[in-house]
Structure 1
Amino acid sequence: MSVVGVDIGSYSTHIAVAKLGAVEVIDNDYSLRPTPSIVAYGDRQRFVGVAAENQKNLNPRQTISNFKSCVGLNFKDVETLGDRFGATASVDTKGKLLFEVRGHELSPEQVLATLFTKVRDIVKANDDNEELIDTLVVSVPVYFTQAQRQAVKDSAAIAGLNINEVISDASALALSYGKSKDISGDEKRNVVIVDVGHEGTQAIVVEFDSQSARILASAHNNIGGRAFDDELVNHAVSIIEDKYKVSIKDNVKILNRLRNILEKTKKQMSANTNKIPVQIDSLMDDTDVNFTIDRAEFEKMIATKIATIKETIEDLMASTTVKSEDLFSVEIVGGSTRIPAIKQVIEEVTGLQTSTTLNADEAIARGCALYAASLSSKFITKKYHITPAVHYGIEAMFVHGGQHEKVLVSDKGDSINEPVSIEITADLPLNVALQYTDSSPIEDKFISLYKVDGTEAKRGVFNLKFGFDTIGALELKEVVMTAEEQLTKKRKSVSPDRGEDMEESENDETTELVPCRTVLVFAKSMPEPRNIVELRDEEMSMIHADQVEIQRQEEKNNLEELLFKCRHEVEEHNEQLGEEEVYTNIIQFFEETENWLYEEGEGAPKSSYLDMAQTLHKKMKVFSVWVEKFQQMKAREEEKRLFLERQQQRQQEQEEYEEQMRQNYHQQQQQRSPPRNVRKIPVVYEGDGDYVPFHQPPQAQQAPKRPSPTRFAHRPDPFFSSHPFFGDSMFGW
């Protein structure tokens, strides 16, 4: 079972897993550590992370991004964000935010649940295929309300995950710092940690010692990397529209592409003071765009936002008694802290040079994993206690004497680890509402409502006990009614004469006050819990649909790979079989299959690809048999040809040999002299001329024996005899 810590950022998500001896930030399916917090909805499946980012510019209205800060909020709280999400935003009957994609309406909690599903898949792929997550800790910004924290937990439950604890980014950073530094036993360090992320800036003051860390104060604003990118995009749009006389401010695809390019330019400006060229090919209507921008110009654009960050850090320092000379160091994390102007402002306020010993992108995820390891039974870790602080003041409201009264439960900066008890006098029936104080910058201040039952009195004194749960939400833990009950008692005396009890007169009655303590039953009536079961069933259905589509795509890819492999095997016989009908037929079948695959079969079901692959295997099997027989036939024809050539060559050699022997014989006869001891027969010459003796030729020598034909030559010719191979009707022979 895995022990996991997750930092879900507005821009990207990091996942850390606790392992023996270390905490490791794991890679996603694209071998990247940051997973974009983007969810895209296609025709058949959902895309999350890098795949969704690739789809963002193709289907901007079917892609949802920057949704993390919207969970648990009403539509009116995020209405000003406009087109930041990509998908069209709407409102339901209860005033909640909804996203419209592919004809469906999805809440931010459902979109976040999809991201949690991706987290589970990444952990499973990287942690030895572990199916279950034993301990899960997720971080949220310090400014998240209790409704948002509960929404994060509900989102994980929709995805089938159980969050053990929801901690703030401040707690995760404090734990990451405290565990990585060697702090001596009696040493105390006051450290300022500034996190400038994508959606906002968080700053905290933490007191560290060797065994614990206590968050003294915190501050935040909504200025982050997104705001800086917006300034760059607006500046670039103004330049392009003036220079090229076009309007692009309403084109979502062009703005997305422009934002991606300018984000890279922003990173280059952090390391260079020279002018940075911006070149975009075919941005609109085949028009190439180019312009330049430098760091000084960029800092001038974001000057007001830098001033807001400076004011936030000043408020942080003013909210605690820690002075600049008491600080040990100033740690900066978050991608936007790489901007030199932000570093300069932090150093001006704190009086110390900024330190980057913490990983700017992964420190929060590592802190979450360390916290999860301390909760899990799989690991034995050195305990390092973190004492978080309350970021928003919370008060309880009730009715007393027919009027609404308020009492402060926890103030900003208080520790959330300590329970709180307050005593109130209120009317019955008692209803206790928790809400944020008027000084909190939250518009919707309502938190929860508790109804108390179990008494018929009209008024009472109550002791209320509050505590923070595992997600950092304040809850009513116990309600005790305390009162003093009046009891009247009559003193009795005994007569010595009668030995009987005698009651005294009414003037001798006494009254005693007896304390009464009653634990009352209460229930949380608002907000209403979400229907997690129904939403989880819907998410499981989507997961199943995604898996079916992934398997369909895999079978399609397998068929495509098999098709090209078979075509390559067949085309290797092109020189030998190019004119054969069987060869041309199977090549035509390949072309028809390819056309079907990229046209009609583009959206075919998985079974169609399997059937086509099976048909392809059968045809290749028949073709292989045909090729084997064809090659056997060609081999026999070649053997016959070679046999006939050998026979002809032997006959020619025989004839040449005989001719040579005849020539040799005649030459020998011509060169031979008459024999010596030859008997002469007397002959009477009767001719007219001179007599010339006639010499009888010697007995002819026996000619050499002519070689007889071999037995192989008289063997029947197998190529002209009947053979079943040449009568095979399958191939038309």
Structure 2
Amino acid sequence: MSVVGIDLGSQSTKIGVARNKGIDIITNETSNRQTPSLVGFGPKSRYLGENAKTQEISNLKNTVSSLKRLAGRKLDDPEVTIEQEYISAPLVDINGQVGAEVTYRGEKQRYTATQLIAMYLGKIRDTASKELKLPVSDVVLSCPPWFTDSQRRAMLDAAQIANLKLLRLINDNTAIALGYGITKTDLPEGEAKPRRVAFIDIGYSDYTCSIVEFRKGELAVKATSWDRHFGGRNFDKALVDHFGKEFKEKFKVDINTNGKAKLRVMAAVEKLKKILSANSSAPLNIESLMDDKDVRAVLKREELEELVKPLLERVTVPLEQALAEAKLKPEDLDAIEMVGGCTRVPAIKDAIAKFYGRPLSFTLNQDEAIARGCAFSCATLSPVFRVRDFSIHDIVSYPIEFTWEQSPEIPDEDTSLTVFNKGGIMPSTKILTFYRKQAFDLEARYAKPEMLPGKTNPWIGRFSVKGIKADAQDDFMICKLKARLNLHGILNVESGYYVEDVEVEEPIPEVKEGDKMETDQPNGDAEAKPKTRKVKKQQRKGELPVSAGTSSLDEPTLSGLSEQENQMYMEDKLVADTEDKKNELEAYIYELRGAIDDKYSDFASEEEKEKIKDKLEKTEDWLYEDGEDATKAQYIAKMDEIRFVAGPVVGRYNEKQEEERQARRQAEEEAAAKKRAEAEAKRKAEEEAKKAAEPAKKSEDSEMKDADTVKGEVEEAK
């Protein structure tokens, strides 16, 4: 099994995996650590990720971006109108959901945002699986903290269509905080003051600020604020508008009338913006932008800051909101961690540092922090890895209330209740109590619709409670409903049950005075019976079936979409395999044509050579005429035909090669045997020489001993 965390960004996606006792960010098929968040459609197959980026300019109307920002939205939402400025494919309404209309395999097709996200997640799944050489199922996926219930449900549906098991849908800022805290070994414990850190994430399309408290083994998000339309793309748009006016005046070209030209300018200003983060000025040159005209310009950093001044004036707003919600001051924070590509802009860094009155910290990888946090979260939730325990206490972004019809028997009953307050802990469970004699419905909705993004419908779901009836005395049934805001940030009424008040006896605790207390025991040594009292307690008596109606797709719909996605996946695979076979055939034609007069020359007669060359020429003509759009089977058949004709020649060549290999191997073996024999002979000669030397040495030792004896006797006689 694998452990994968996915940072699904508006512009690009990063994949983190747990392995080698750490977290790695894996590369895609082009060795990039991030994959463009794009889905494109072509005449034969879909283009996903890098392939979609390559085709984007030539396939504008069939390429969809900003995938996650369309999730769970409706076409009439004003924020969808904003997204259309960044998406080249036309957006349409599909059964109340926003989607895109594209030309796929020669026909007009419509796909919802949920389907588009599922297609892209399938590509990310395959990228991770190829790198890990394992099937990928369990994942943790990131989303912005401002996502509503319907947006989160759309992400879960997309993951299910892509055949992924989503263990957690985690907020971007919470993933960053987890990645920061889980590796720290010096966090405060017990009653000590927690470490407070502000995490500021300014990415391609939005800006979030979270204040998080850390203690050993846990983190608690205290406040989160955001600006949904503040990011790198807003800077890019300001630059595109500026250069659009300049090019119109200076070069007489209007990029607003040419989508491809505008996209090329967008790509160029993104590079220019990055250069200006480290330099005081930067050039912009685009050859043949439109109408065969080259354009060029130069921009200074001061000019850029003037262009984006309205944006820069909004920099401190989320910072102030987060501090106010957390009831803290700038000096109460221990660190300010910066994350996201847009935090490299000097003007933004300066404004934030000035607001807090302290240096900023860049200890986290600005582009990959979310993916790493997602992978850590997946590791903690998966049984595959052993990770140190680390609790996450996230917060509720919007207050949620339940409403219901008033019971006719209870005329003064309240009909609404705010159950989950903004800033409350998530995940969390609340038990709701109702007194009823018949089945009833209740609705969940956001209590303050004005806080929601765009024109989001505040309705979350409708829950019907069945199986309720009055008791034998025509009294109310006490109904308990378990409402849970789960770790995905999604609300459900998970279960219902009813209770009854019953009388039970419970012992009365003895009141002790001093260390010991004497008691009268009339029965001598017999122990006194403990005193008891009767109390009423509620006992669970049975279950109440609860049916839910939410924005989630029902099972038949999900199954149908999953089957459709599998079919498109297999079609893509067939197209890719067919293209591989076509390339293989083309490469073999050129390889064989060069080899027939070279390495195969001595193994073929002139007649065979002519026959092979004729076959290659005919196959090549077919390949570039009738065979341009042939099937996989046809390419395989053509390859087999060539191999049949060239087979005898290639076979003779291979036999000769094998004979030479055998001869070389035999020669090598003989040389090795000879070397071993020489070494053995040398060893034996050395042993024999050693043995021959031993008697002579013994005789010499004996003579020396005799001489010493005589010498001793002479000395003694003296």
Change (3 A) 1:350 1:481: farther
1:197 is aligned with what amino acid? G
2:360 is aligned with what amino acid? T
User: How does 1:184-199 map onto structure 2 within 5 Å?
Assistant: 184-186=187-189, 188-199=194-205
Change (3 A) 1:428 1:574: closer
Change (3 A) 1:95 1:586: closer
Change (3 A) 1:94 1:428: farther
Residue of 87, 93, 96 corresponding to 1:94: 96
Alpha-carbon distance between aligned partners in 1 of 2:27 and 2:176, rounded to the nearest angstrom: 21
1:461 is displaced (CA, Å) by: 6.7
Residue of 334, 347, 355 corresponding to 1:341: 347
Give deviations 1:290-338, integer Å, cap 9, x for gaps. 0111211111121112222321211111111221111111001011111
Alignment of 1:29 with 2:55, yes or no, is: no
Alpha-carbon distance between aligned partners in 2 of 1:395 and 1:593, rounded to the nearest angstrom: 71
- 2:273 corresponds to which residue? 266
Change (3 A) 1:284 1:180: same
Change (3 A) 1:625 1:341: closer
- 1:248 corresponds to which residue? 255
User: How does 1:414-453 map onto structure 2 within 5 Å?
Assistant: 414-423=424-433, 429-438=439-448, 439-442=450-453, 443-453=456-466
- 1:74 corresponds to which residue? 74
Residue of 393, 399, 405 corresponding to 1:387: 393
1:95 is displaced (CA, Å) by: 4.7
2:494 is aligned with what amino acid? K
Residue of 84, 87, 92 corresponding to 1:85: 87
Percent identity, aligned pairs only, is 30
Alignment of 1:150 with 2:153, yes or no, is: yes
Residue 174 of structure 1 contacts residue 386 of structure 1 at CA under 8 Å; is this kept in 2?
A: no
Q: Which secondary structure state, in structure 2, belongs to the residue aligned with residue 177 of structure 1? A: helix
Q: Which secondary structure state, in structure 2, belongs to the residue aligned with residue 353 of structure 1? A: coil
1:51 is displaced (CA, Å) by: 1.4
Residue 436 of structure 1 contacts residue 446 of structure 1 at CA under 8 Å; is this kept in 2?
A: yes
User: How does 1:470-549 map onto structure 2 within 5 Å?
Assistant: 470-479=487-496, 520-527=544-551, 529-530=553-554, 531-549=557-575
Residue of 587, 596, 600 corresponding to 2:622: 596
Alpha-carbon distance between aligned partners in 2 of 1:417 and 1:410, rounded to the nearest angstrom: 10
- 2:657 corresponds to which residue? none
1:161 is aligned with what amino acid? L
Alpha-carbon distance between aligned partners in 2 of 1:364 and 1:515, rounded to the nearest angstrom: 46
Residue 88 of structure 1 contacts residue 101 of structure 1 at CA under 8 Å; is this kept in 2?
A: no
1:339 is displaced (CA, Å) by: 0.7
- 2:165 corresponds to which residue? 162
- 2:290 corresponds to which residue? 284
1:406 is displaced (CA, Å) by: 2.4
Change (3 A) 1:599 1:235: farther
User: How does 1:114-193 map onto structure 2 within 5 Å?
Assistant: 114-127=119-132, 129-133=133-137, 135-186=138-189, 188-193=194-199
- 1:411 corresponds to which residue? 421
1:2 is displaced (CA, Å) by: 0.6
Alignment of 1:555 with 2:581, yes or no, is: yes
The normalised TM-score by structure 2 is 0.78
Alpha-carbon distance between aligned partners in 1 of 2:568 and 2:72, rounded to the nearest angstrom: 22
- 1:16 corresponds to which residue? 16
- 2:693 corresponds to which residue? none
Q: Which secondary structure state, in structure 2, belongs to the residue aligned with residue 69 of structure 1? A: helix
1:516 is displaced (CA, Å) by: 9.3
- 2:482 corresponds to which residue? 465
Residue 208 of structure 2 contacts residue 225 of structure 2 at CA under 8 Å; is this kept in 1?
A: yes
Residue 175 of structure 1 contacts residue 213 of structure 1 at CA under 8 Å; is this kept in 2?
A: yes
Change (3 A) 1:517 1:314: same
Residue 600 of structure 2 contacts residue 653 of structure 2 at CA under 8 Å; is this kept in 1?
A: no
- 2:524 corresponds to which residue? none
Alpha-carbon distance between aligned partners in 2 of 1:72 and 1:290, rounded to the nearest angstrom: 41
Residue of 114, 117, 121 corresponding to 1:112: 117
- 1:39 corresponds to which residue? 39
Alignment of 1:566 with 2:566, yes or no, is: no
Give deviations 1:74-102, integer Å, cap 9, x for gaps. 22221342242222211124354344332
1:624 is displaced (CA, Å) by: 7.1
1:385 is displaced (CA, Å) by: 1.0
Alpha-carbon distance between aligned partners in 2 of 1:474 and 1:624, rounded to the nearest angstrom: 68
Change (3 A) 1:428 1:296: farther
Residue 433 of structure 1 contacts residue 450 of structure 1 at CA under 8 Å; is this kept in 2?
A: yes
Residue 8 of structure 2 contacts residue 143 of structure 2 at CA under 8 Å; is this kept in 1?
A: yes
Change (3 A) 1:426 1:441: farther
Alignment of 1:3 with 2:3, yes or no, is: yes
2:183 is aligned with what amino acid? S
Change (3 A) 1:483 1:301: farther
Q: Which secondary structure state, in structure 1, belongs to the residue aligned with residue 395 of structure 2? A: coil
2:570 is aligned with what amino acid? H
User: How does 1:716-731 map onto structure 2 within 5 Å?
Assistant: none
1:526 is displaced (CA, Å) by: 3.2
Q: Which secondary structure state, in structure 2, belongs to the residue aligned with residue 29 of structure 1? A: coil
Alignment of 1:611 with 2:618, yes or no, is: no
Q: Which secondary structure state, in structure 2, belongs to the residue aligned with residue 193 of structure 1? A: strand
Give deviations 1:89-117, integer Å, cap 9, x for gaps. 11124354344332211111111111221
User: How does 1:573-722 map onto structure 2 within 5 Å?
Assistant: 586-587=612-613, 589-621=615-647
Higher Rg of the two aligned structures: 1
Residue of 234, 237, 242 corresponding to 2:244: 237
Residue 136 of structure 1 contacts residue 165 of structure 1 at CA under 8 Å; is this kept in 2?
A: yes
Q: Which secondary structure state, in structure 1, belongs to the residue aligned with residue 303 of structure 2? A: helix
Alpha-carbon distance between aligned partners in 2 of 1:149 and 1:265, rounded to the nearest angstrom: 35
- 1:62 corresponds to which residue? 62
Alpha-carbon distance between aligned partners in 1 of 2:25 and 2:562, rounded to the nearest angstrom: 28
Residue 399 of structure 1 contacts residue 426 of structure 1 at CA under 8 Å; is this kept in 2?
A: no
1:225 is displaced (CA, Å) by: 1.2
Give deviations 1:493-527, integer Å, cap 9, x for gaps. xxxxxxxxxxxxxxxxxxxx998977533211333
Residue 164 of structure 1 contacts residue 470 of structure 1 at CA under 8 Å; is this kept in 2?
A: no
- 2:320 corresponds to which residue? 314
Q: Is 382-391 or 598-607 further displaced after alignment?
A: 598-607
2:103 is aligned with what amino acid? V
1:340 is aligned with what amino acid? P
1:429 is displaced (CA, Å) by: 4.1
Alpha-carbon distance between aligned partners in 2 of 1:9 and 1:249, rounded to the nearest angstrom: 26
Q: Which secondary structure state, in structure 2, belongs to the residue aligned with residue 535 of structure 1? A: helix
Change (3 A) 1:378 1:514: closer
Residue 439 of structure 2 contacts residue 466 of structure 2 at CA under 8 Å; is this kept in 1?
A: yes
RMSD across aligned positions (CA): 3.0
Alpha-carbon distance between aligned partners in 1 of 2:173 and 2:486, rounded to the nearest angstrom: 17
1:152 is aligned with what amino acid? M
- 1:506 corresponds to which residue? none
1:406 is aligned with what amino acid? S
Change (3 A) 1:172 1:377: same
Change (3 A) 1:99 1:411: farther
Residue 143 of structure 2 contacts residue 169 of structure 2 at CA under 8 Å; is this kept in 1?
A: yes
Alpha-carbon distance between aligned partners in 1 of 2:285 and 2:18, rounded to the nearest angstrom: 44
Q: Which runs of 5+ in 1 are unaligned?
A: 486-512, 629-733
Q: Which secondary structure state, in structure 1, belongs to the residue aligned with residue 32 of structure 2? A: coil
Change (3 A) 1:340 1:453: same
1:546 is aligned with what amino acid? D
Alpha-carbon distance between aligned partners in 1 of 2:401 and 2:380, rounded to the nearest angstrom: 32
1:600 is displaced (CA, Å) by: 2.3
User: How does 1:397-408 map onto structure 2 within 5 Å?
Assistant: 397-400=403-406, 405-408=415-418
Q: Which secondary structure state, in structure 2, belongs to the residue aligned with residue 450 of structure 1? A: strand
Residue 426 of structure 2 contacts residue 486 of structure 2 at CA under 8 Å; is this kept in 1?
A: no
Give deviations 1:474-510, integer Å, cap 9, x for gaps. 222344567989xxxxxxxxxxxxxxxxxxxxxxxxx
